[in-house]
Amino acid sequence: MKKLMECVPNFSEGRNEVIVEQIIDEVRKIEGITILDYSSDKDHNRTVLTMIGSPEQVREAAINSARKAAELIDMSKHEGAHPRMGATDVIPFTPVSNVTIAECVDVAKEVGAEIGSWGIPVYLYEDAATTPDRRNLADVRKGQYEGFFEKIKKEEWKPDFGPQEMNVKGGATAVGARVPLVAFNINLDTPDVEIASKIAKKIRHIGGGLRYVKAIGLKLEERNQTQVSMNLVNYEKSAVYQAFEMVKMEARRYGVNVVGSEVIGTVPMKSLLDVAEYYLQIENFSIDQILEKRLLDEQ
Amino acid sequence: MKKLMECVPNFSEGRNEVIVEQIIDEVRKIEGITILDYSSDKDHNRTVLTMIGSPEQVREAAINSARKAAELIDMSKHEGAHPRMGATDVIPFTPVSNVTIAECVDVAKEVGAEIGSWGIPVYLYEDAATTPDRRNLADVRKGQYEGFFEKIKKEEWKPDFGPQEMNVKGGATAVGARVPLVAFNINLDTPDVEIASKIAKKIRHIGGGLRYVKAIGLKLEERNQTQVSMNLVNYEKSAVYQAFEMVKMEARRYGVNVVGSEVIGTVPMKSLLDVAEYYLQIENFSIDQILEKRLLDEQ
């Protein structure tokens, strides 16, 4: 049985297409790998790449693209709305088919060791984390690039790989293993980022909200709107429709409306089928009723 | 990208397992085809087969299984509760992935021409129909096997392929192309079937409602509730969420509530992803963001 792993590296460049293409080219060179998606956001100044392949292929692709990002991106000049700490900001590995989360952890450690050998501090996170306080990416990334020059000196933030010293150009990188993540943003008809931030704080886990939801408020300069930008780290437990309804519920307090949402990158179909099942109040639904699921199972 | 087509031939034999297995074996012989399901009904004396493959594979499978059915089934001795006119009664082709309805029409015509060359009259129906009055399968099949010996003599019922003369042993066959049908029921908290019927009449095409929705009102005796039972014959044009919202809208008039819904049998994932896209107000969503869609494409 073919082993398939997903890898979704995030690079801190979303404005210069030439740089983005050179980074993606490193992945294209690897035979047999599938680039499912990549998209750059100018406000975030960030590119998110989704690729699938064998554990060996995604490991090689992650290493080569991170090496190119370290060469072409200068973090000391980076600006963007999205929190970030490195040229290659984060590299998560996710099981897709016939691989375990433990195999993803193994690949994460191999990639982390390689990046660390270039003089870039590396933190293992989520299921690859070496301590409980490194599980959460937001905790790892707290302080961001600018804050890391001090943060890294603390003993509890000694990197898992690489020097205990910030890399001025490349920053620091988080490498992890996790179950599939749904990146889901909700756009609001207010230009007031304070409101988006207040809503984000209310619906996310650390604020007393949904257990597996991480959220921040962002300004969408081009649209003169704001956004609650979320990561649903376990959509089977904290569902997409719950996050959506909770944002609407909080927005009401400010007389603010949801004008739309975005699903970023690739998601498992079950994450959105759950939404249909909820809103249509479907009784006794099974994912085996989906033609494509049956087809994948039978092949 | 991999092209996938579904074909659901109906054979007029549901009692003799040996014959059914010989027909299905013709499909099993074709490498790469996936048999999703086949089931025989003794009362109907009919077997329904669901298979998926490339356009070439399903064309070959449809032809070979129909040839075997023509060899083994004698329609002059057939009895069964389900309307039927031929040994292979009906062969619909449906797009699954990366194929158009026009490509399904092409395959339907090729299969029809082949079956016609065996001396079996063939009628093209639904999107493959050559005249508007042949679109509806029920109209084509009206009179059934027994009535066709006269019906076929009429100029308006000259077959699209094969002789203008009934085949005593093989009967006649309808070959068609259609978009996938979604069987979708909505349950109401009223025991009054009159209300369910009134809602059904208001939302269906012939009553002035949605273009591609067929609907009736039914009593659910065990639950002491009623149901609007629908066939959505083109969910891309008349969507599942539209049908759902229109039923709720009409139910309001009677102070009646929707208590749940049912999706019957297998449906394409897009039919339900559209629902999520609508309720979440997702901007710029593409089905290619679904991991399973991408995986099927790459295989």
- Is position A205 annotated as part of the catalytic site? no
| Helical (H) or strand (E) element with A208 | none
**Do the Cβ atoms of A262 and B240 come within 8 Å?**
no
Please answer whether residues A279 and B275 qualify as being in contact, where contact means their C-beta atoms are separated by less than 8 angstroms.
yes
Mean pLDDT of B144-148: 97
Compute the nearest-CA separation of A43 from chain B (Å).
Answer: 17
**Do the Cβ atoms of A279 and B284 come within 8 Å?**
no
Q: Which residues contact B95 (CB under 8 A, 6 or more apart)?
A: B5, B6, B101, B103, B104, B179, B180
Please answer whether residues A229 and A247 qualify as being in contact, where contact means their C-beta atoms are separated by less than 8 angstroms.
no
For residue A42, give the 3-state DSSP assignment.
coil
Q: Does A197 touch chain B (CB under 8 A)?
A: no
Mean pLDDT of A143-163: 97
* Residue A134 reports pLDDT greater than 70: yes
Compute the nearest-CA separation of A285 from chain B (Å).
Answer: 7
| Helical (H) or strand (E) element with B263 | strand B258-264
Mean pLDDT of A251-274: 95
**A262 closest CB neighbour out of B6, B275, B283:** B283
* Residue closest to B174 by CA, chosen among B70, B42, B234, B84: B84
Pairing mode, strands B88-97 and B10-11 = antiparallel
Q: Quote the tokens at residue A196.
A: 């988006």
B74-114 tens-digit pLDDT: 999 999 989 999 999 999 999 999 999 999 999 999 999 99
A85-112 tens-digit pLDDT: 999 999 999 987 778 889 999 999 999 9
* Residue B242 reports pLDDT greater than 80: yes
Q: Does A99 touch chain B (CB under 8 A)?
A: no
Q: Quote the tokens at residue B247.
A: 């039923």
Q: Report all structural domains of chain A as residue ranges with CATH numbers, in order of start.
A: 4-177 (3.30.990.10), 182-292 (3.30.70.670)
Planar angle of CA A255, A261, A267, nearest 5 degrees: 150
Mean pLDDT of B220-233: 94
Mean pLDDT of A58-84: 97
Distance, in Å, from the CA atom of A52 to the CA atom of A22, rounded to the nearest integer, reads 19
Mean pLDDT of B204-209: 96
Bridge partners, residue A50, by sequence: A37
Q: List chain B residues with CB under 8 Å of A267.
A: 289-291
What's the pLDDT score for residue B299? 60
- Give the phi and the psi of residue A137 in degrees, each rounded to 5: -60, -40
**B282 closest CB neighbour out of A97, A262, A281:** A262
Q: Does B22 touch chain A (CB under 8 A)?
A: no
Instruction: Write down the ipTM of this complex.
Output: 0.85
**How buried is B212 (Cβ within 10 angstroms: 0-12 exposed, 13-18 middle, 19+ buried)?**
buried
Mutant choice from B52, B185, B269 vs A, greatest count of A C-beta within 10 A: B269
B23-67 tens-digit pLDDT: 999 999 999 899 988 999 999 999 999 999 999 999 999 999 999
What's the pLDDT score for residue A296? 76
Chain A residue closest in CA terms to B284: A262
